[in-house]
Chains A and B, each alone.
Chain A
Amino acid sequence: MVDMVITGPLKHNYLLIETAIIGIFNILAGGFDFLTNNLF
């Protein structure tokens, strides 16, 4: 099993999951707020 949210460096960091999954540049572009709102 690989759980991308709890393994590796991800653990349970809210911002960290965003950056790991969709990439920091996409976050900075501001186009993925829905991800934050929906992920938790």
Chain B
Amino acid sequence: MGLLIGMRQLGRDLASQKLRTFLTAFGIVWGTAAISLLLAFGEGFHKQILVNSAGLGENIVIAFPSLTSIPFEGLGKGRRILVDEEDIDLVEKGLAGISGEYADTFKLLYNTRTLPVDVSGVRPVFGDLRNLIPQEGGRFVNALDELDKRRVIFLGNELAKEIFGSTEPVGKTVMLLGSPFTVVGVLKEKTQDSSYSGRDKDKAFVPGSTFRALTGAKYVDNLIFKATGTDATEGLKADVIRVLAGRHRFDPSDKEALQMWDTTEGFKFIDTFMLAFRAFLGIVGSLTLIVGGIGVSNIMNVVVEERTREIGIKMALGARAGSILRQFMAETMLITIFSGAIGLLLAAAICAVFPEGFREFVGKPVISPSVGLLTAGLLGLIGFLAGYFPARDASRLDPVVAMKL
């Protein structure tokens, strides 16, 4: 019965102090929702950056052979450096993978449709390096294709949709450079935040050998390679330059002859950036928590005067100090649990209605319930401590003093 009476009194007290209850609850709701959202977006953003960056390929280096900018061993500057398959075979040792890329734009025919397409001739390993994952039922260019100069083609997902609509492309034949090519795979949809020659979803890939045989191309447009580990990248870049510089006689310190885009630098930057970003979120979160805590404790404090009188009256009517304090604790806990839950739900709701369109840039926010609960708990604790001590002091006063305060 004691509990029942306690609950009844609790409900009545909360209802009778609507403003106080509302303000306290609001402080906790706001704090919980704000911090949950902050961390949710931070987490989503981080994941999305990683996904987007991986769209190009993870920890790859892209090298573009171009013109020398420094005279070397009696040769003038401005010489074009031309890299062929022989060069690639020569530097392949010690790398996790390397592929040349021959690129051009051709007319592609299917049924009555004709459209210009950026086509790349590549080695099979290119698919792994550049994260070109085929949709179910398809595959990327393989070693036999390369060896036998097969006329097979791998299509970007947008391109496939443009050519075939809702028809299944794998196994169909398209015309390219006057020759029939069999579609062997379609790119699985991926997000890609950077590129050097258009997005993969709009491109087509054929075996490098086939490309060379049909077009007569001899020199690569660019090279893609990857070290076995991130730490090895710097050394391997130097190795590649040293070997090619020896063969083609250019100064190894010539930055222009073989321009390199090292994406591992981007990943390193992302790591540093995310560390800073998390520190920033942590500071903002802590401040939000402090501000919320101050708000909650302020509200608790503001009502102490009124509470003291109320406690004095109740004591004069025969209430025990223990039951008054227990009620106060129950009150704070109820508000905390209730508001914490609302705050979490609010954050979850905001995440749920967060427009799909933005996800490519900031990712899908991920709510962490433990962070939300921790936040609500902390705010509740602050509010509790802020209200508990004055309430305890009041219950220790002589009722006649408490009533006159």
A binds B: no
Binding site for A on B (CB under 8 A): none
